[in-house]
Structure 1
Amino acid sequence: MALRQASRVPSKSPSLDAAELLDLTDPAVVADPYPHLAALRAVAPMAWHSGMGTWLATGHAEAGAVLRDRRLGRVFAARTPQDDWDTFNWLHADSILDSEPPKHTRLRRLVAGAFGRGHVQRLAPRIEELAAGLLADLPDGDFDVLADYAEPLPVLVIAELLGVPEADRHHLRPWSQAIVRMYEVDRTPEVEADARRAAAEFAAYVEQLATDRAARPGEDLLSDLVQARDGSDRLSAHELVATAVLLLNAGHEASVNGFGNGLHSWLTAPDRPAVDVTDPSARARLVEEFLRHDSPLHLFERTAKEPATVAGVELQPGAKVAALLGAANRDPAVFADPDRFDPTRDPNPHLAFGAGIHFCIGAPLARLELEVSLRTLLARYPALEVVEAVRRPTFVLRGFERLVVAAVSRPA
C-alpha cells in the first residue's frame, strides 16, 4: 500500500518533544536506557520525538495499543539505489515481519503450517545435546558465556531446524549480524555496505539449499517450507528465502541477547534470588523475567495506514509510531517494583515478543531454547558470578559483546 510521506511535524502540536529527554544515540542512554525511558514515560507515555520524526510509546498500555491496532502496519521502505539494495529489499518486503494483510495472513498461515509439524517439540533433546557439547569444551576457570555458549547455540539450533550442513554453519552468524546492524539508529556507510554484501551472499546460499531440498527432501523445516501448500497456494522463491533468513536473524538475536541480558540481570541482582531450575514451572518464570527485565528488542516501528487515533494521539496516513518494548516492560502501572529482577513474577505480561498479528512466530522455539540452555548450563555450573560485562553500543537490539563469568562451585 502506497502511503503519503508523513511530515516531520505531527498534525497536532505536542505538548512535549521527547527529544528533550531521550537521545537514543547518547552512549549513556545506550548503556542504561531505563532511567531515561522511565523519565519520559512518567511525563508522556506517548510522546513525539522530533529528531526521529516518530511518536514513541513508552507505557505498557500505549505500546500494546500500537502493536495491536490494525490501522497501523509494517510498511517497508525500499532502500535506494535499487540496483545496490535489490536483495536486501526483497528479503524484507517478502518476509512475514515486514508484510501486512492479506500477504502477511497468507505467509504466516503457510509458515505456521510448516512450523507446526512437530519441529519445535522434537528439538528439545537435540538442544540439550548441542548445549552439553558446547559446555564440554569450556574451561574450569573464567569463560565468556556468550562467545563460548550462548552465541553458538542458537545458530546450531536454527541450522538443525533448517537442515544447514555443519560445514556451512560458520557463515550464518556473520551474515545475520551484518544484516541486523541496519536496524540501529546510527548506521554508517561501512555498516550499509556490509549489510548489502551479507544479504546477497545469505540469499544465494539459501536459494541453493532450497533447490537441493526440492530435489532431495529431508526431515527439516526448510524441506517442509519448500513443499508448504495451502490448496493451490505456496511460498514463492523469494518468500521462502526471506522466511529462512528471518528465522535465523530474529531467532538467534532474541535468544543470544535474551539469554545474556537475563543472566546478567539475575547474577547481578542485589538480592540474587535463588531459583530451582530443575523445576519446570520455576524455570519458565525465570525465563519470562529474563525477557522482561532487560528485553533483547527495544524498538518496533509501525506506520499509520489510515487516519487513526491510537493511545490518545491522532495519526495521519504515513505517520510513524514506535513501541519501546523495554520501556513498556518496566511500566510500574503493570509490573510491581519494575526495576527489580523477580524470578517469581507471575503473571508477567511482558511485550518482549511483541503483540498482535506480528507476535513473534518463533517465540515457542526461543522459550524452549532459553529454558533448556539455562538448565543445562546450571547443571554443570550451579553457581556463577559475573567477572566482566561489556555492552554492545546498540539500542534497538540490546545485548552484550562480552559476558565473562566464573564458576563459584562445581560438582565433581
Structure 2
Amino acid sequence: MKIAVLGGGVAGVSTAWYLAQSGHEVTVIERREAVADETSFGNAGMLSFGYTSPWAAPGVPFKAMKWMMQDMAPILVSKSSINPRTASWLFRMLGQCTEQAYQVNKQRMLRISEYSRTCLAELTQQLPLDFDHRNRGTIELFRDQQKMDSIGADLASLRACGVEHEVIDHAGCVRHEPALANVPDKFVGGLRFPQDGTGDCNKFTKALARHAADAGVGFRLNTTIEALEKDGDRISAVHTSHGPVQADAFVVALGSYTPMLLNPLGLRLPIYPIKGYSLTLPILDADRAPQSTVMDEAFKVAVTRFDDRIRVGGTAEIADFDLSLKEKRRKPTEFVVNDLFPGAGDLENASFWCGLRPMTPDSVPVIGETPLRNLYLNTGHGTLGWTMSQGSARLVTDVINGRTPEISTDGLSIQRYLS
C-alpha cells in the first residue's frame, strides 16, 4: 500500500520505519526543514518506561490550587489561555482524578511503555543508532519522607503490571547516583526503575529517518499539511502547501495539531498543547553530573545525562499554542539542577527551549483505527512521546497490516472519546 504519514516527529518517523519494514510505500509529510524539530527537539530525554503516570490523579485538584500560589509551581496557567477550549479540557482532565480512573489510565500507559522498551531494545540491536543512549535507570527522588511513605498505590500498580522497581533509601540513591553525595541533606530516598534509560530524542529521530530513507521512505519536508479530503467512509487525499497527496492509507502523527486536522471530519479529539520547557547544559564536571535520570518529585523536574550534556526538563504551562520563550519559566529548571548537581553543568552557556506536549485528559495516547477505514492515529502521548514512540509505532503498524498486536489495544483508540 501507499501510506502517507503526517508529521515528522519521533512518532511519525518511527511509524514510517515500521511500515516500510513491513513492505509499504511510505511518504512522511513534515512542515519543517528537518524531522524532529518541534516537540521531539528538546524534551527531557527520559526513556521512562517504568516511571509512567497520568497527570490526572487523586489529590491533583487540591494540589493545583496550592501550586497557583507558588513561585516555582510544576503546573502554571497563563491568563491569556483561558478560553472555552482550555476550560473544557481542564474539566475533562479533572474528571479523571479519581482513584479508579487513575489506576485504569496508569495501567494503559504502562502497557504501552513496557512494550516500547522491548521494541526499542530490538531496534537498537538491529540498527546502529547514535543518540547518547544509556540504560542506567531512573530515580524518582523524594525530598520529603511523608511523600515517600504515600506511594503505596503506585507500587501496587507497578506490581500489577510487572514493572521492575525498587524503593531505595538515602544510601541507595547515592550508590546509583554518586553525585548526590554532594547534597546529602536534599533528599530522603527514592523509587528506582532499573529498566529505564535516557537518550537524545532529536538525535534518535534524525538517525532513524536516515535509515528509513535508505529503506525507501520518502520525506516531503517544508510541506504544510492543510486538510484531509474525505470520500465517503475513507480519506482520498491530504491537501498540502505543495498540492494534494494521494495514498491508500493515512496516519496522523501531528501531536498537538492533530485536532485541527480532524475537527472538519467530525472527529473531536481532546488533545491540548501543554507547554514544556528545558535547559541543555554543557558538562563542566562529570563527577558532579547525574549518571542517568533523576526526577525531582517535589518540583516535577527531570535532570537527565547525555554523553557530554545535561538536559533539564520541567514546568508545564497551560498556555494554548503560545510558543514564546519566557525567561521566568527558566527558574525551576535552573534551581533543581543547581540544587541537586551543583557545579555539574555550565548554566551560563545553557540553551533554553520550549515545546508543546500533546496531552489527552486521561494522559493515554490515541493509537490505531478511526471510524474512517483508511485513517489511523498515533498521537496524544503528552510528556511520554519519546518513551512510547517505538511501541506505539509498532502497534499502529500491526493494526494497519491487519495483524493482532502484541499488546492489547483496549482503551487506546479514538473510540473512547466517541462513545
TM-score above 0.5: no
The TM-score normalised by the length of structure 1 is 0.29
More strand by share: 2
TM-score for both structures, normalised by structure 2 = 0.28
Whose helix fraction is larger, Structure 1's or Structure 2's? 1
